[in-house]
Amino acid sequence: MQKNRLHRDSKPVIGITLGDFNGIGPEVVLKALADNHILNMCTPVIYGSMKILARYRRLYQFPDWFINQVLNIEQITFKKTNLLGVLPQLNHNIQPGQPDEAAGKYAFECLQRATEDLKNGGLDALVTAPINKFTIQSDNFKFPGHTEYFTKVFDVPDSLMFLVSPNLRVGVVTGHIPLSEVSNQLTREKITSKIQQMIFSLQHDFGINKPKIAVLGLNPHAGEEGLLGEEEINIIRPAILELKKKGNLIFGAYPADGFFGQGEYRKYDAVLAMYHDQGLIPFKTLAFENGVNFTAGLPVIRTSPDHGTAFNIAGKNLADETSMREAIFTAIDIVKQRRIIDHEIEKVDS
């Protein structure tokens, strides 16, 4: 992978994919980028079609503001919002709120083009608008979501789905899998790996030198000492103990209901849940509007809003752009933090 061609002190170049154009992706992208303050912090590059954006601008009667259209990343203007046209000759059948195979195929085309520029150093980070996980499936995309796609494309053995907000950070050991498979996929090694990724990300992406992490149990009441399940005794606690012996501040396993119900999460820098809904339900309850999905463990930076395509409100001008805006801000902050780390490493090496 090539290092970014931009100078360390320059504003980050942030790619933004439109996601499924029949969902709320185009709406939240337009609303978020209408805030001119973003241009003071980064150079946005939308991957999509001006035809799609123009349709939604007319639909919602959004004020018209300049978007610089380019054909490749080398043509972008650094003080403007840019749109890199992906298959600009296509005529899109835009039907807000309707899942459509063509919309899924186009979402992948935008994602693939943006990923290439991210991999080649043209982008400092990528923010992905929501996709429909069913309509995007094809011979080229056979993944349950963005997280697994980026893990494969960037050839890392594992990554961490990390939901972050100003007051709460939650990672999950198992992601997009059926609940019936969770217990079978939990191993001491997997939990250890996820905690180590979380520690590394908190240090290098969020600037927390000695992070304090809480780990949740799998079973009700964290197994009640084996009465309600033995995963805590045989798998989760041994992983915690192994990392504590190395000087890490890891605690648990905690019963999930009491942990969140009593506000214990406020005492920790991050929380590791055992499965998707165990972590995302409390996260979205407590931080839905400003929550961000960050894929930790990658050599690149990828964030997204913490919501889906929301077909039920697409086309109605009801979508809240806060999470998209926060995803952009989080990507910018992580770029800056990683530059600080890289600069410190360079000083040591020199």
SS3 string, 223-255, reads: HHCECCECHHHHHHHHHHHHHHCCCCEEEEEEC
Which CATH number is 10-156+298-350's, of 3.30.70.1560, 3.30.40.230, 3.40.718.10, 3.90.1150.10? 3.40.718.10
Tokens of 286: 């407590």
Instruction: State in words which class domain 157-289 has.
Output: alpha beta
Q: Are 107 and 92 in contact (CB under 8 A)?
A: no
Same topology for domains 10-156+298-350 and 157-289, yes or no? yes
Helix (H, G, I), strand (E, B) or coil at 116: helix
Domain spans of the chain, in order of start:
10-156+298-350, 157-289
pLDDT score at 343: 77
pLDDT score at 36: 83
Instruction: Please state, in angstroms and rounded to a whole number, the distance separating the CA atoms of residues 299 and 155.
Output: 10
Peptide bond into 253 cis (omega under 30): yes
- The amino acid that residue 48 corresponds to is G
CA dihedral 321, 325, 331, 332 (to 10 degrees): 170
Instruction: Please state, in angstroms and rounded to a whole number, the distance separating the CA atoms of residues 335 and 204.
Output: 10
pLDDT score at 311: 97
Instruction: Compute the C-alpha angle 317/166/159, nearest 5°.
Output: 90
Tokens of 239: 């992983």
pLDDT tens for the chain, 350 residues long, are: 444 444 444 899 999 999 999 999 999 999 999 988 899 999 999 999 999 999 999 999 988 889 999 999 999 999 899 999 999 888 889 999 999 999 999 999 999 999 999 999 999 999 999 999 999 999 999 999 999 999 999 999 999 999 999 999 999 999 999 999 999 999 999 999 999 999 999 999 999 999 999 999 999 999 999 999 999 999 999 999 999 999 999 999 999 999 999 999 999 999 999 999 999 999 999 998 899 999 999 999 999 999 999 999 999 999 999 999 999 999 999 999 999 988 778 777 76
